[in-house]
Amino acid sequence: MKDFLMELKFRNETLFSFGLVCLVFALIFLTMTRISQTHLYQVNAWYKPFKFAFSTFLFAWAMAWYCYYLPSFNVQLFSWVVIILLGFEIAYIALKASQGQPSHYNNSSSFHSLMFSMMALAATGVTLYTAYIGLLFFIQDIPNLENHYLWGIRLGILIFVIFAFEGFLMGGRMSHTIGLENDNSNLFIVGWSRKVGDLRISHFIGMHALQVLPIFSFYALKNSKAVVFVGILYGALAAVTLQQALKGKPFWPESKNKFQTEIKKN
């Protein structure tokens, strides 16, 4: 682990440091879920900034590692774009959590509508920049990178970009669930709805292809055809969970007994 951290810092100290800051804040936000009693959409308000900070930590470190392989790329410009745009998102989400107010889908005032739009623009900017990096991995000659690992990075970025843009589907509906408005459950930290379809599931699976596919290609698959095959299966999994959510079906339904109990209470 020490060798990995030293190598990552050498490859991109800027994103390495930003990722570390995001990890620290993620742990602080997770601690706040045990301290604060503020709830939004049936769950503790601090879970949302935790998830965003931790996800940004993973993204920053993954891109810091991959961008090092590109022979011609302005990595510092990309790094600071990520820091400014995603740092803004995390800060605003944490601020609204501290106030017990939603950061997303909040059109209660012109200010909140503007900030929601600004977050969408920030996420779009980072995603488009990442898509450009993915294109570079397809068109640039990277002779020192093994082909199976290169395909893991290519497919990881491609699937990440596709399902990052799924956020527009949630934003357009002003809800992350289909069947109930912004429903959550107590399903560990993720909070995915167990009553109706939840668009966040495919969003989560697809975006974390950025880490999963390169790691599997490097340590386990070691074959280009196998990497492409697994990449197709992984993308299909994300697509199937999206289709299931759009039909209003929960990924992990509540037990019938619990559902019947709730009906009797009502």
Q: How does residue 256 score in pLDDT terms, banded at 50, 70 and 90?
A: low
Instruction: Give bridge partners of residue 39 from the DSSP assignment.
Output: 44
37-49, pLDDT tens digit by residue?
A: 999 999 999 999 9
Q: Could you give the angle at which helices 47-67 and 13-35 cross, rounded to 10 degrees?
A: 160
Question: What is the pTM for the complete model shown?
Answer: 0.94
Confidence of residue 5 (pLDDT cuts 50, 70, 90): very high
Q: Where are the domains of the chain?
A: 1-144, 169-266
Cα gap 206→188, rounded to integer Å: 20
How distant, in Å, are the alpha carbons of 31, 109, 121, 255 from that of 114? 30, 9, 10, 40
User: Over the stretch 66-90, which tens digit does the pLDDT of each residue have?
Assistant: 999 999 999 999 999 999 999 999 9
Query: Where does residue 237 rank: exposed (0-12), middle (13-18), buried (19+ CB within 10 A)?
Result: middle
In whole angstroms, what is the distance from residue 260 CA to residue 248 CA?
19
Note the pLDDT tens digit of each residue in 209-252. 999 999 999 999 999 999 999 999 999 999 999 999 999 999 98
Residue 220, helix vs strand vs coil: helix
